[in-house]
Amino acid sequence: MPSLFRRKSADVVDESAASAPADETPVTHARSHTPGKGRETPKRPGAARRPGGAAPPLTKEEAKQRRRQVRAEAAAEFRREGGPRDRGPERLLARNVVDSRRTVGTWFFGGALIVLIGSNAAMPAVVRLVSNLLWGALALGVVIDSILISRKIKKLVRERFPRTQQRLGSLYLYAIMRSITFRRMRAPEPRVNLGDPV
């Protein structure tokens, strides 16, 4: 019984011969031949690259050196920029007020060390008396200097930042603590020189 869905191979050959132009000769290829696309196959971008392996683990000495370097970079950045408590234009103004003047507070800790040594019971009475007088003079000088710094900060903040939300008491304490620190140890580092107008 003939199949309803398949055509005879002879009919297919006759049709293809009839449809082909008379001047062209049919090209025969091997059975395994795949016709070309007419263009070159693009290469994958990462085909030539090999996936990089994981970095080799650091030795103990290299890890210690790396930690030391990270700490040094963090300390340098803190010395340059300061921390969260140092941010804000009011804090910068307070720092500039302190850094533009000589303060008694920078001598406070050095004087305190002399007072501590001079107040020893083994010292003569005259040395102990001078040490106590020096201690009183240093304390009085720090108090007067702190009052002068606070008054100047209050005046400048009210002039330049009339709508500030910063508490003045916090600014005063910030400036006083900076004034009793040695200039070279202040962080952030001073941006003005001694005697510069603020």
pLDDT digits (tens, 9 = 90+) for 79-98: 777 778 888 899 999 999 99
Q: How far apart are CA 198 and CA 195, in angstroms?
A: 9
Please name which of 177, 156, 183 lies closest in space to residue 102, comparing C-alpha atoms: 183
For residue 22, is pLDDT > 60?
A: no
Q: Tokens 């020189």 label which residue?
A: 193
Q: 119 or 83, which is more confident?
A: 119
Reported residue count of the chain is: 198
**Amino acid identity, position 45:** P
Q: How many CB atoms lie within 10 A of CB 12?
A: 10
Average pLDDT over residues 35-53: 63
Residue 116 is predicted with a pLDDT of 87
Q: 166 or 40, which is more confident?
A: 166
Residue 154 is predicted with a pLDDT of 94
Average pLDDT over residues 132-140: 91
Residue 177 is predicted with a pLDDT of 93
Share of the chain above pLDDT 90, in %: 29
**Amino acid identity, position 158:** R
**Single pTM value for the model:** 0.60
Residue 108 is predicted with a pLDDT of 84
Residue 198 is predicted with a pLDDT of 84
Residue 140 is predicted with a pLDDT of 94
Average pLDDT over residues 9-20: 51
Please name which of 48, 57, 147 lies closest in space to residue 104, comparing C-alpha atoms: 147
The model's pLDDT over 30-40, given as tens digits with 9 standing for 90+, comes to 666 676 666 77
With cut-offs at 50, 70 and 90, classify the pLDDT of residue 21: low
SS3 56: coil
Please name which of 3, 192, 16 lies closest in space to residue 94, comparing C-alpha atoms: 192
Residue 47 is predicted with a pLDDT of 52
Q: How far apart are CA 102 and CA 2, in angstroms?
A: 116
Please name which of 92, 110, 104 lies closest in space to residue 179, comparing C-alpha atoms: 104
Please name which of 110, 167, 101 lies closest in space to residue 134, comparing C-alpha atoms: 110
Q: How many CB atoms lie within 10 A of CB 146?
A: 20
Q: How far apart are CA 127 and CA 114, in angstroms?
A: 10
Q: Determine contact, residues 132/115, Cβ cutoff 8 Å.
A: yes
Average pLDDT over residues 105-132: 87
Please name which of 109, 111, 110, 118 lies closest in space to residue 135, comparing C-alpha atoms: 111
